[in-house]
Structure 1
Amino acid sequence: MKRILLIEDESSVVSFIRKGLSEEGYEVSVALDGNQGTHMAMTYEYDVIILDIMLPDKNGLEICKEIRIYNKKVAILFLTALGTAENVVLGLETGADDYLVKPFKFIELQARIKSLLRRTDPAQLAPVAEPYLYKFADIELNDLTKTVKRGETVITFTSTEYRLLLLFLKNPKRVLSRTEILDQVWGVDFDMGTNVVDVYVNYLRKKLEQNNALRVLQTVIGMGYVLKDE
């Protein structure tokens, strides 16, 4: 049984989510304020944490940052009424894996949770295929050790950034649409309603283009992105 921590102070939302997820077979724990949520997230093990931003005592952004200091693996989903692009970017930058805006449909929340679990549960991951080394220009990714180098510089990526880079390295010089990227990296085949793909491509660019390195992730206007060195 997968364990979910819901950190939310709206009783109607708590009741709706807990009932729906319990019926789907999840074990749901609830924290009604920021301090309680932080304590539970640090004390017990969960597969997914669903986190509001506007909470009593401590906001969700602070909680997410604190969790990520000690736990890099647990999947974190922001569920909040703050739906501007700036809020989405800020939420992802604190370490969240996904961001869903209220009001929402339960079927979409359920799909997001399943996608997060597929990405974080080793039992559901496909075995590493050979070859495990992916190279493009001066970039080298070792999918056994999960390390990435550009030239002689080792670059550290979050799990989502890593999966996105691996997708591009597996498809060099091929234009990938945002929809295809969402499907392959986030495991959803519908529009997430945010510019999450654009945000993460920019994250990759910033890390790959340190020390004035050549840009290899190119934008194809109206179509998507492509990995090329021309």
Structure 2
Amino acid sequence: MQLRLVSWFFITLNLMEYVGNQQYPSRVRRQGRMHRNMSQACQGGCAACSEYNGCLSCKPRLFFYLKRIGMKQIGECLSSCPNGYFGQRSPERNECMTCKTDCESCFNKNFCTKCKNGFYLYLGKCLENCHDRLEPNNHTMECNEVVHCKVNEWSQWSPCTKKGKTCGFRRGNETRVREILQLPSAKGKACPHTSETRKCVVQRKKCQKGERGICNPEENSQVQDPA
């Protein structure tokens, strides 16, 4: 009698499981897809994967990247991380980690290489506005140091001349110049003047016919600075 009751119990249990599977077949199939390991059929650098979640782990040196599609997340294995992520290696596994919210691309969590629209890049940081000692470059979207004008030293004074001649006069003019080495940026100090002229006095020399050349140095007697 007891043996008969046990038999009826297992028959009833199997019948209930069969009826449940017939009523909810999609749920059973979906659960099977989510948990069935597909390691032998993995592609794209996956070391282990599932039919529903994609890659679960990656082959050596590849980065694990969790891609969101709507409410679903799919694992991928990449040689380099996409924009907005940086690669972080560890003994456990290599992962693509998210950059800061204002970074379009980054070297690590604390160093951006390109900022999102509306931000200026400066020393790995993304700034809404450049500091006072910096100026924005709207072409590269970077904050640059302010550059002031640079000039070299003055040249020697030129020979004393008058109307292009170096003879036939006593009072003339001489000039010196300097070159610009660095143009200023928008906020930088402007360049100073690059030429100066002053009056000069020399011993008068009679010009020969058609002479316009430079007088001999010993014929220069004295130079007067402008008042």
TM superposition score category, shorter chain reference: under 0.3
TM-score, normalising length: structure 2:
0.20
Q: Larger % of helix: which?
A: 1
TM-score, normalising length: structure 1:
0.20
Q: Which has the higher contact order (CA 8 A, sep 6+)?
A: 1
Q: Larger % of strand: which?
A: 2
Larger gyration radius, structure 1 or structure 2: 2
